[in-house]
Each structure stands twice: as C-alpha cells, then as structure tokens.
Amino acid sequence: MSGVFFYARKDAENNKRMFIFITIAIALSTANIIILNGVMDGITDDFLDRTMETTSGHLNIYPNEKDRYIEGLGIKEQKLQGIEGVIAYSPRITAGGALSYKEKSRSVNIFALDPSKENRVTVLLSKIDSGETLKANDRDGILISYRLAEELNAKAGDETTIVFEKGNTRVFKVRGILRTGMAMDTNTVIINFETAAEQLNLNNKASIILIRLSDKALSGQYKDIVSGKLGMQKVKEWKEEVESMWSTIRTYKEIIATINAIGLFAAAVSVGVILYINIIHKQRQIGIMKAIGMKDFQILSVYIIEAAVLGTIGILMGDALGYMGIKYLQAHPFSDPTLGSIAPRLYSYLFYDASLVTMLIVILAAVYPALMAGRMNIIKAIWGN
Amino acid sequence: MEIIKTSDLTKNYTLGKVDVKALNGVDSSIEEGEFIAIMGPSGCGKSTFLNMIGMLDTPSSGEIYIDGRDVTEMNSSAMAEYRLKHIGFIFQFFNLFNELTAIENVMFPMMLNKQPNYKERAKELLDLVGLGDRLHHLPSELSGGQQQRVTIARSLANSPKILLADEPTGNLDTRSSVEIIELFRKLNLEQGQTIVMVTHSMEIGEKADRIIHFRDGKVMEG
Ligand SMILES: Nc1ncnc2c1ncn2[C@@H]1O[C@H](COP(=O)(O)OP(=O)(O)OP(=O)(O)O)[C@@H](O)[C@H]1O
Ligand SMILES: [Mg+2]
C-alpha cells in the first residue's frame, strides 16, 4: 500500500490550489452543520426550559374526566405534603374573563395562584417587565401581560377592572407587567388565588396543581404514586406537557437539515467534480500507472485516500470553525423580541455527527471518479480515444 | 529458451461499421535474451502486437505464452501483477509521472512491489542510465532523451525479464537515439534482458539481433 499512499500524497501536493478549494468547501459545510444545529439546540433548549419553568411543574394534576375542577383541594394538598420527593406544589385556578381599563376592554385568561406556593414551583412571577411582582396575600393586585398592557395603554399603578365568568366585577391595581417570552404574553392576567375563588364562587377547588419533585427525572416514577394517593386520573409529566411543542421543533429541525444538506451537497459536488476533472486531466498518467502494474483497486484507493485526507483536514478545520462560531455567538447572542437572547449550545455530539456525516458524504462523492479511474481502459487512457 | 510465443494471434477493432484487423494471425517466437526490433509500415499492427504481449490489451483470438504461461487466461489483477514484476514498458512519450521527480518515478514501481531499499536501487538505476546527477529533477526539467532514460531506469526497477519499447526513440534526435539503443544493448548484454522494440528507423533496427517485419497485421516470412 505504501506506493498507493506515496502517489496519493504527491498528487495532492501537486494540486494544492484545487485541493485547498475542496478543503474549504468541506470545512464550511462542517461548520455550517455545527453552528446551525447549535443555534437550533439553543433555541429549543431555551424554549423548552422557559416553557417548563414558567408554565409547568414536574408533574401536573388535572381535573378528572368530566369535572371542571379538582375537588377537595385541602385534603389533596395535605396528601401531597405527605409524599416524600414532592418538594412543593401550587394550585392554580384558570378562568376566562374581561379586563377593562378606561374605555378599553379585552378578553383575558385569568391565572389565579398563591404567590408563596407558586414561587416554590415555577419562576412565572419573576418574569416582570416593569413594576413589581405579585406578593403573597396581595388580594387586590394584578399582573398583566405586556401585550395587554400595550393594547390597553395600562401601566403599573393603574386601576383596572375584571369581569369574571359568573358576572362578578372587581377592581384590581396593576402591580407589574408580565413578560414570559411565550404565548401567554398575549392576554394573561395573574391574580391572587383566594380572590379568584371568591369571585368565581369556588370552594376548595383548583383547575390544576403543579408539583415540583426533588428531581425532574423522577417524574415517571412519581406520576403513579401521586395519581394513586390523590385518586386523580389525570397526572401529566413535564415531558408530556412539552410534547405538543416537539412538532414545531421538528419542523424547524427539518428546515435546518435541509440547509445543511444543501451545504453538504455543495461540498460533495466540489469534491466529486474536482477529483473528476483531475482524473480526466491525468488519464495518461493513470494509463501509465496501470501499464507499470498498478491494480484497479490500488488506483481507486489513491483517489479515495486523497478524498479521505482532504475530508479529514477540511473537517478538522470545520470543527475548529464551528467551535469558534459557537463561542462567538455565545458571547454575542442574537436577540429576539419574544424569546429574549438566543445563544447556540456547544454539544459534543454536534461535532461527532457533523464530522461523521461530512466524511461519509465526501467519501461517497469520491467513489464515482475513483471507480472511473480504476476502470479506465489502459490503451484508451494512454493514447486517448 | 522461448520467452514469448504467439500463435494465430488476432485483434479486431470495430470503427463505426468497418472492421479493422489490426492483427491478422500473428505467429511469433522470441528467445530469452534476444534483442528484437519490430518494423513495418504505419498501421500494420506493431503497437497492437506489443500491447498484446505486454498484457495491456487482450486479443480477439489466438494464444500468447509468456515464459511458458498462457496469459490470455489471466484476470486483470493477475495481469497487473505480472506487468509489475516481469515486464518493463517504454512508450514514445508521456511515460513519466509529471509530479514525481526522476528518482521518485523510478522508486514508484518498487514501492508498489514492496521492494526494500528502493531508494538506493533507484539511484543505482539512474546512475546506470547516466542520470545520477538529475535525481531530483521533475520530468519537465529534463530533455526528451533524459526523460526516456528515466523511463528506461523505471522499466528496470523490478528487474523484469522483458522490456517492451514502442518507438522509444521516435521523439529523439539521432545522438540521443543512439545513446538509448546503446543503453538497450548494454542492458541486454549485461543483464540478459529480453528486449522487444518497435522502430521506424532502419539504422536503429539494424542494431538489434533480429528484425521481425510486420505487414497488414501479419509477420512477413523470411
Ligand atoms: N483503439 C483502436 N481502435 C480502432 N482501431 C485501432 C485501435 N488501435 C489501433 N487501431 C487500428 O489498428 C491498426 C494497427 O494499429 P497499430 O497502432 O498497431 O499500428 P502501428 O503499426 O503501431 O502503426 P504506427 O507505426 O503508426 O505506430 C491500425 O489500422 C489502427 O488504425
Ligand atoms: Mg505504433
């Protein structure tokens, strides 16, 4: 094989300029995969984390089939306290209603919660854009989402009125403006649990109970325990809650994959075409190689080895470029009005995957020209047609 | 001992609708250690014959024995192996690898043959052809005659039994041609190489032990 390696090296050295071009194409394609997927992972991770930490517990208990509310809240809370591994829980009431400020009025989703409990489960109440958050036992305060605030032109300190489902009306003072980076920013208001229960005539009831476990990885195991002990049929894990988002994420991943494929295709074409041209150009020499006794397989190997070496160099460059790109974007993240800042992730799997896929494509692209070189007819190769 | 023998060798090419009989029943016999010149008018099948006995191409019919072996039975990989070890080629031009220096060109077949000490032997061979001072020149930095001498050195790399040369001096001036033929003669005498050389020049042909005359794809008797 030493003769094969020897010739492959010489050939590559003598086509430096062409091969530098190939290497750059490979490097860019590899870096493209790493950076785009890193950014995508950043977006999905942030998105999932944010959704999780604001809207869901590790386990969420929903009302039984046909019930609108979870009944017997007090007893359920007691039972939850008795389950080891349940760190905290927060019951919420969700309801529809209308919010009016001055002459304007909007329909809203009302989240009613107990801040002292909620704060031990989610970070929802910390997502304040301006003003203050809702404090425990603040029965008159309200947080309104920033899009609502913009539409109604309301700000912290203003007095607003809520009309509840049952027709009750109550005045609330805006404590702060909420900004979560999620869909709930459109038309959500947050008020005190007790106040809502009173207005909606709900006694000892909740719409949902969010539960925090000592470790979110335990959700599967605790799902049945909680369900059994509380006699509730509908307990969902956090994973199930975000499941609906996966289809959106998958769509984005497909878009990214398409862009990557285009980059890879460009790299593959440049590898294939440049090797092909090089081989056509060198027909005579290939004929001579065969005449002096090189086997078809050895000639094929020359070009596969060249591609593999160029691939390796290009991929290493691409990995380095990808690493620097991700580091740069982590230091200078994109900013997005709803998601906040978007920074890519630096996962090692990205480097393995990108390197492996690129190498595979590069070798595949080299196969056709290499086969062509190996199978060339000696006489035709030396003397032309 | 007979080293090359062909019997009723034919090679047909189809050019469009016309059948060309490049070889039309060639019977020939070449002894080991002979220095043969093949002569004849253009298009009479000299190169085709050389390509057949050098296993660069396969005949349409007939038999070729090299060193007692029927080579028409071999597959392409076995043929390549045989060429590597036992046959040296010298063409009229385009012989050398442009990106390899003189010494690398000579080393290459030895590396393919996993021969140890290939560097030393390449030097010796280049010395032998009088190019000991041009080891690291690229083909483009050598004259036509020097290039042919490098080619000869390379063809000798794996000590083949047979050297096949197709108009090796066709591209050279008289002085360089004479040098090449003298080199062939020297190799033939000192190393016992069997040499089969195609040439158009009577002057050069006469330097061989024997001339085989070709006409219309056949060996002329006499
Ligand atoms: N690949 C080919 N396809 C078709 N016909 C061919 C091919 N190679 C050779 N021939 C024909 O076969 C005949 C013999 O060709 P060959 O090259 O052996 O002649 P030659 O004696 O070497 O001639 P020259 O002295 O000009 O080199 C010619 O008529 C040529 O046109
Ligand atoms: Mg000829």
Distance between Cα B129 and ligand 2 center (Å): 25
Check residue B161 and give its pLDDT: 92
Helices (H), A282-295: 283-291
The domain total for chain A is 2
| Domain range summary for chain B, segments of one domain joined by + | 2-221
A106 and A229 in one domain? Answer: yes
B109/A293 CB distance under 8 A? yes
A203 and A329 in one domain? Answer: no
Instruction: For A67-104, give one letter per residue: b (16+ CB within 10 A) or e.
Output: eebbeebeebbeebeeeeebebbbbbbebebebbbeee
In chain B, % of residues over pLDDT 90: 79
For residues A255 and B62, give the distance between their C-alpha atoms in angstroms, rounded to a whole number. Answer: 63
Distance between Cα B201 and ligand 1 center (Å): 18
A284 and A329 in one domain? Answer: yes
Q: Please say which residue of A193, A209, A233 terminates a domain.
A: A233
For residues B133 and B131, give the distance between their C-alpha atoms in angstroms, rounded to a whole number. Answer: 5
A248 and A229 in one domain? Answer: no
A228 and A278 in one domain? Answer: no
Considering only CB atoms, A285 lies closest to which of B51, B80, B98, namely B98
Domain membership of residue A192 as a residue range: 63-233
pLDDT single digits (tens) B101-123? 999 999 999 999 999 999 999 99
Distance between Cα B6 and ligand 2 center (Å): 19
Q: Which of the ligands is closest to the CA of residue B13?
A: 1
pLDDT single digits (tens) B69-78? 999 989 999 9
CB of residue B48 inside a 6 A radius of ligand 1: yes
Mutate to test the pocket of ligand 1, among B10, B12, B13 (most ligand atoms within 8 A of CB): B13
A171 and A292 in one domain? Answer: no
Axis-axis angle for helices B118-128, B144-155 (nearest 10): 130
Q: What is the dihedral of CA A341, A344, A345, A350, to 10 degrees?
A: 160
Check residue A17 and give its pLDDT: 86
A208 and A106 in one domain? Answer: yes
| E strand spans, chain A | 59-62, 86-101, 104-113, 128-131, 141-145, 159-164, 169-178, 188-192, 208-213, 234-237, 334-336, 340-342
A102 and A72 in one domain? Answer: yes
A377 and A276 in one domain? Answer: yes
Provide φ and ψ at B127, rounded to 5°: -60, -45
Distance between Cα B92 and ligand 2 center (Å): 9
CB of residue B42 inside a 6 A radius of ligand 1: yes
Question: A295 and chain B: CB distance < 8 Å anywhere?
Answer: yes
Distance from CA of A383 to the nearest CA of B (A): 9
| Partner residues linked to A170 by β-bridges | A162
Check residue A385 and give its pLDDT: 57
pLDDT above 70 (res B222) = no
pLDDT single digits (tens) A372-381? 999 999 988 8
A217 and A116 in one domain? Answer: yes
Tokens of B144: 């036509």
* Residue carrying the six token digits 């160099």: A313
A205, part of any domain? yes
Tell me how far the alpha carbon of residue A192 is from its chain's centroid.
Answer: 33
Nearest Cα residue in chain A from B97: A285
CB of residue B199 inside a 6 A radius of ligand 1: no
Q: Which chain residues have CB less than 5 Å from ligand 2, an ion?
A: B 47
Check residue A333 and give its pLDDT: 86
Distance between Cα B47 and ligand 2 center (Å): 4
Provide φ and ψ at A106, rounded to 5°: -140, 145
Q: Which of the ligands is closest to the CA of residue B14?
A: 1
Tokens of B36: 């043969």
Distance from CA of B57 to the nearest CA of A (A): 7
Q: Please say which residue of A205, A233, A261 terminates a domain.
A: A233
- For the sheet with B210-215, list strands across it: B87-90, B162-166, B194-198, B35-39, B210-215, B218-219
A292/B154 CB distance under 8 A? yes
Check residue B205 and give its pLDDT: 92
A58, part of any domain? no
A80 and A43 in one domain? Answer: no
pLDDT single digits (tens) A171-209? 999 999 999 878 888 899 999 999 999 999 999 999 999
User: Residues with Cβ < 8 Å from A31, sequence gap 6 or more?
Assistant: A318, A319, A321, A322, A325
CATH code of the region B2-221 = 3.40.50.300
pLDDT single digits (tens) A262-307? 988 988 998 899 889 989 988 999 999 999 999 999 999 999 999 9
Q: Can you tell me the ipTM of this complex?
A: 0.92
A250 and A175 in one domain? Answer: no
B112/A298 CB distance under 8 A? yes
Q: Are A251 and A80 in contact (CB under 8 A)?
A: no
Strands B18-31 and B35-39: unpaired
A239, part of any domain? no
Looking at the CA of residue B51, tell me the nearest atom of ligand 1.
18
Question: B78 and chain A: CB distance < 8 Å anywhere?
Answer: no
Q: Please say which residue of A181, A205, A233 terminates a domain.
A: A233
Q: Which residues of chain A have pLDDT under 50?
A: none
pLDDT above 90 (res B180) = no
Enter the DSSP assignment of A124: G
Is the Cα torsion angle B63, B64, B67, B70 positive or negative in sign? negative
